């Protein structure tokens, strides 16, 4: 049997889905977390296997955004390659029935078996909302069960109900009810079944008075963002030092058993430990960044930030709704670009997709922090800030401001100037759940480690081969890498990149770095380990480049990484989400163009000043 979960945005469908299927789909506290259909299954107590479909939230079947259209099509049985569900579990937030019941009525009119799950019943009770479930069920003509999706066992009643029997279909009283008629029906049902002490939660009002205040609201937002960047730098340091020395010790231990001039010794020492180790040390920073993003997502603050920034974003041709996709792009542009599905206006959506790669994703952190730690002195500024933290903050802002600039240019180029919509729901605040945050961090750590063990490992080994063969001729005076394929390729590329200050080692690293940004750090580790005579391992890459590069080169490489689309997966997801190679070409073209120009300017200015 196929069961679809539908309901208004942010009513807890995905939490319920996870509860039923044991899945770990992303949940957060804002509308539009789920933007595609997700499938899972579970075995009911009766032994039947049930297929559960989690759908994006929708306010109405009159879809206004791509994610709502998916829900509409699946429910109507019009989704390509998918039969209409046998049972619809309509999920409604018990604290927000006035809004959610209307969609329940719309779903009921589909003429399919429906069960209503009243979710967040714990919150409703706390707020003093009393619901006469039996009467509600009688009036709606569908079975109603109470659920608390975020609590273990909170879906018990729902499981029991769907396992029992498929409920009868309620014939719709009227086929084509007007909006007003639906609302009238909602009002009469509410009047008969729900008693509420007050409309809002006092704590929400109190927080919003400050969080949305014209002056304090913006100040809080700016402080919060700045604090995050400072924390990413300063909190991670002790853990990174520990990882660094751990990897170095392990490298010495493992390679100690091998003859020092063997190929295997070189592969392990120069390839694995120098390459992978260089990337691995950034795990703590990435996790700290995610800790903040997850807490913000769960708390319900993100839509508030979108509210505060909407006007500014609108002026440059974006929308406040773009804030959440763009903020997720700080973690990674791929989920960020997918999250744009909750943006209704196709023009706003395209602009957001094209500027999302300018947000500093976590894959840039290894590159940034490697260079900052090597070239920027760790000095305190005005007693409170760390100069390294300030440089990092500046790099993030360089990305943000260029995104605003690019969006503005796109707005100017656009012919269609009709109105754009915002209309965005602000959820109730919620205390982040420690277990969910922990799981989210664990998941991110796994993703990162898989990347290190997968694509980064593969490319590093490949690069080691290319830098080792062909071997140097007899009587060679230069390091072996100079005679290898990679060495020659690097020298060729150096011609193009010399004006922006990149040496041939950087040029080599940029090539595998096209696949993913962190690879460049691993590649630099390998390239320098190969060209050095001493046993340089991961921990020494920083001091090594600090000796060999000029400050201008380092700054130029930082500028390059603000813009360059060194990530195949991002380009692939742009292709998938916009269904157009042209957009991929536009994105890659303008980003590489900006990267080269920015690096050129940075390098030439820095050289002129020094």
Partner 1 sequence: MRLSDAPKGANAVVQSVSDAHPADPIAQRLRDLGFVAGEPVRLVARGPLGGDPLLIQIGSTRFALRKSEAARVDVLVEGAA
DSSP 427-478: PPP-PPPHHHHHHHHHHHHHHHHHHIIIIIHHHHHHHHHHHH-SPPPTT--S
Q: Is 339 left (phi over 0), alpha (psi -120 to 50) or beta?
A: alpha
How far is Cα of residue 552 from the mean position of the Cα atoms in its chain? 32
Largest pairwise CA distance in the chain: 95
Q: How far is the CB of 351 from partner 1 (least distance, A)?
A: 17
d(CA 123, CA 130): 11
Q: Which of 175, 180, 261, 474 binds partner 1 (CB under 8 A)?
A: 180
Exposed e or buried b per residue across 231-261, where buried means at least 16 C-beta atoms within 10 angstroms of its C-beta: bbbeebeeebeebbeebbeebeeebeeeeee
72 near partner 1, judged by CB under 8 A: no
Radius of gyration of the chain (CA): 28
Q: Which residues, in sequence order, are bridge partners of residue 131?
A: 194
Q: Which DSSP symbol is given to 331?
A: H
Q: Kindly report the backbone phi and psi dihedral angles of residue 468, in degrees, each rounded to the nearest multiple of 5, phi listed first.
A: -100, -25
Q: Kindly report the backbone phi and psi dihedral angles of residue 540, in degrees, each rounded to the nearest multiple of 5, phi listed first.
A: -100, 0
Side-chain-side CA neighbours of residue 380 (13 Å):
4
Q: Which DSSP symbol is given to 56?
A: -
Based on CB atoms, which residue is closest to partner 1, 106 or 436? Answer: 106
Q: How far is the CB of 211 from partner 1 (least distance, A)?
A: 10
Which H, E and C letters describe 298-309, residue by residue? HHCCHHHHHHHH
534 near partner 1, judged by CB under 8 A: no
Based on CB atoms, which residue is closest to partner 1, 407 or 584? Answer: 407
Could you tell me which residues come within 8 angstroms of residue 606 by beta carbon, excluding any fewer than 6 positions away? 551, 552, 555, 556
Q: Kindly report the backbone phi and psi dihedral angles of residue 117, in degrees, each rounded to the nearest multiple of 5, phi listed first.
A: -105, 115
Q: Which residues, in sequence order, are bridge partners of residue 144?
A: 116
Tokens (6 digits) for 595: 């990267």
Tell me the three state secondary structure of residue 194: strand
Q: How far is the CB of 118 from partner 1 (least distance, A)?
A: 15
Please, which of residues 295-354 interact with partner 1 by CB under 8 A?
303, 306-308, 310-312, 314, 320
Based on CB atoms, which residue is closest to partner 1, 67 or 518? Answer: 67
419 near partner 1, judged by CB under 8 A: yes
Based on CB atoms, which residue is closest to partner 1, 95 or 351? Answer: 95
Please, which of residues 424-443 interact with partner 1 by CB under 8 A?
424-426
196 near partner 1, judged by CB under 8 A: yes
d(CA 244, CA 370): 12
Q: How far is the CB of 419 from partner 1 (least distance, A)?
A: 6
Q: How far is the CB of 107 from partner 1 (least distance, A)?
A: 13
Q: Kindly report the backbone phi and psi dihedral angles of residue 3, in degrees, each rounded to the nearest multiple of 5, phi listed first.
A: -120, 130
Tokens (6 digits) for 218: 């913006």
Q: Would you give the binding string for partner 1 spanning residues 542-581, x where CB under 8 A is met? A: ----------------------------------------
Q: Which of 175, 199, 416, 534 binds partner 1 (CB under 8 A)?
A: 199
Based on CB atoms, which residue is closest to partner 1, 311 or 576? Answer: 311
Stretch that binds partner 1, among 33-41, 60-68, 348-356, 572-580 (CB under 8 A): 60-68
99 near partner 1, judged by CB under 8 A: yes
Q: What is the dihedral of CA 20, 23, 24, 25, to 10 degrees?
A: -80
Q: How far is the CB of 333 from partner 1 (least distance, A)?
A: 25
Q: How far is the CB of 421 from partner 1 (least distance, A)?
A: 5
Which run of H or of E encompasses 385? strand 385-386
Q: How far is the CB of 184 from partner 1 (least distance, A)?
A: 8
Q: Which of 41, 183, 265, 451 binds partner 1 (CB under 8 A)?
A: 183
Q: Would you give the binding string for partner 1 spanning residues 202-221, x where CB under 8 A is met? A: ------x---xxxx-xx---
Based on CB atoms, which residue is closest to partner 1, 211 or 557? Answer: 211
Could you tell me which residues come within 8 angstroms of residue 421 by beta carbon, excluding any fewer than 6 positions away? 64, 344, 345
Which H, E and C letters describe 346-389, residue by residue? HHHHHHHHHHHHHCCCCCHHHHHHHHHHHHCCCCEECCCEEHHH
Q: Which of 1, 23, 64, 408 binds partner 1 (CB under 8 A)?
A: 64
Based on CB atoms, which residue is closest to partner 1, 132 or 237? Answer: 132
Q: Which DSSP symbol is given to 484?
A: S
Tokens (6 digits) for 603: 């390098």
Contact present, 599 and 501 (Cβ < 8 Å): yes
Q: How far is the CB of 173 from partner 1 (least distance, A)?
A: 19
Q: How far is the CB of 199 from partner 1 (least distance, A)?
A: 5
Q: Would you give the binding string for partner 1 spanning residues 8-47, x where CB under 8 A is met? A: ----------------------------------------
Q: Which of 102, 347, 364, 517 binds partner 1 (CB under 8 A)?
A: 102
Based on CB atoms, which residue is closest to partner 1, 18 or 71? Answer: 71
Based on CB atoms, which residue is closest to partner 1, 69 or 263? Answer: 69
59 near partner 1, judged by CB under 8 A: yes
Stretch that binds partner 1, among 47-55, 420-428, 437-445, 523-531 (CB under 8 A): 420-428
Q: Kindly report the backbone phi and psi dihedral angles of residue 159, in degrees, each rounded to the nearest multiple of 5, phi listed first.
A: -60, -45
Q: Which of 192, 222, 242, 421 binds partner 1 (CB under 8 A)?
A: 421
Based on CB atoms, which residue is closest to partner 1, 68 or 244? Answer: 68
Stretch that binds partner 1, among 96-104, 461-469, 506-514, 558-566 (CB under 8 A): 96-104
404 near partner 1, judged by CB under 8 A: no
Please, which of residues 111-130 interact with partner 1 by CB under 8 A?
none
Residues that bind partner 1 in the complex, under the rule CB under 8 A: 59-60, 62, 64, 95-96, 98-99, 102, 179-180, 183, 187, 196, 199-200, 208, 212-215, 217-218, 303, 306-308, 310-312, 314, 320, 419, 421-426
């Amino acid at each position: 049997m196929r069961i679809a979960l539908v309901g208004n945005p942010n009513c807890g469908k995905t939490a319920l889905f996870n509860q039923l299927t044991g899945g770990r789909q992303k949940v957060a506290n804002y509308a539009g977390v789920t933007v595609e259909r997700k499938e899972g299954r579970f075995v009911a107590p009766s032994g039947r296997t049930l297929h559960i479909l989690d759908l994006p939230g929708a306010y109405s079947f009159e879809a206004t955004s791509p994610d709502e259209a998916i829900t509409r099509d699946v429910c109507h049985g019009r989704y390509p390659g998918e039969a209409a569900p046998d049972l619809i579990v309509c999920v409604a937030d018990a604290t927000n029935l006035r809004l959610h019941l209307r969609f329940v009525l719309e779903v009921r009119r589909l003429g399919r078996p429906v069960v209503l799950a009243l979710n967040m019943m714990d919150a409703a009770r706390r707020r003093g909302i009393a619901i006469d479930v039996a009467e509600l069920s009688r009036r709606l003509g569908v079975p109603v069960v109470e659920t608390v999706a975020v609590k273990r066992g909170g879906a018990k009643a729902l499981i029991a109900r769907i396992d029992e029997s498929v409920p009868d279909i309620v014939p719709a009283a009227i086929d084509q009810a007007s909006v007003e008629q639906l609302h009238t029906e909602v009002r009469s049902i509410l009047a008969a079944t729900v008693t509420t002490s007050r409309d809002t939660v006092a704590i929400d009002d109190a927080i919003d008075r400050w969080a949305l205040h014209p002056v304090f609201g913006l100040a809080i937002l700016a402080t919060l963002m700045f604090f995050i960047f400072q924390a990413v730098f300063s909190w991670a340091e002790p853990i990174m030092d520990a990882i660094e020395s751990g990897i170095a010790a392990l490298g010495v231990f493992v390679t100690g058993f091998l003859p020092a001039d063997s190929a295997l010794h070189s592969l392990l020492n120069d390839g694995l430990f120098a390459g992978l180790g260089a990337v691995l040390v950034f795990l703590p920073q990435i996790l700290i960044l995610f800790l903040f993003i997850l807490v913000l997502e769960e708390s319900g603050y993100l839509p508030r930030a979108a509210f505060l920034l909407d006007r500014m974003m609108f002026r440059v041709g974006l929308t406040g709704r773009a804030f959440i996709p763009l903020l997720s792009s700080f973690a990674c542009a791929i989920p960020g670009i997918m999250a744009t599905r909750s943006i209704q206006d196709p023009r706003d959506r395209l602009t957001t997709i094209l500027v999302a790669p300018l947000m500093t994703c976590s894959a840039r952190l290894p590159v940034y922090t490697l260079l900052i730690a090597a070239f920027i002195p760790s000095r305190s500024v005005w007693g409170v800030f760390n100069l390294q933290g300030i440089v990092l903050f500046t790099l993030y802002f360089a990305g943000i401001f260029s995104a605003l600039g690019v969006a503005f240019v796109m707005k100017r180029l656009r012919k269609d100037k009709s109105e754009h919509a915002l209309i965005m729901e602000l959820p109730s605040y919620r205390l982040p759940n420690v277990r969910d945050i922990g799981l989210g961090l664990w998941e991110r750590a796994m993703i990162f480690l898989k990347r290190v063990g997968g694509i980064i490992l593969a490319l590093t080994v490949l690069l080691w081969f290319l830098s080792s063969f062909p071997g140097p001729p007899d009587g060679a005076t230069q390091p072996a890498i100079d005679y290898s394929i990679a060495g020659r390729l690097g020298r060729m590329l150096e011609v193009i990149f010399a004006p922006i200050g990149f040496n041939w080692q950087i040029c080599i690293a940029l090539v595998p770095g096209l696949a993913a940004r962190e690879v460049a750090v691993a590649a630099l580790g390998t390239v320098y380990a190969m060209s050095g005579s001493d046993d340089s391992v991961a921990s020494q890459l920083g001091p090594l480049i600090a000796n060999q590069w000029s400050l201008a080169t380092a700054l130029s490489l930082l500028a390059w990484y603000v813009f360059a689309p060194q990530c195949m997966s991002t380009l692939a997801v742009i292709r998938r989400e916009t269904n157009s190679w042209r957009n991929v070409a536009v994105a890659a073209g303008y980003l590489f163009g900006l990267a080269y120009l920015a690096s050129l300017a940075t390098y030439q200015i820095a050289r002129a000043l020094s």
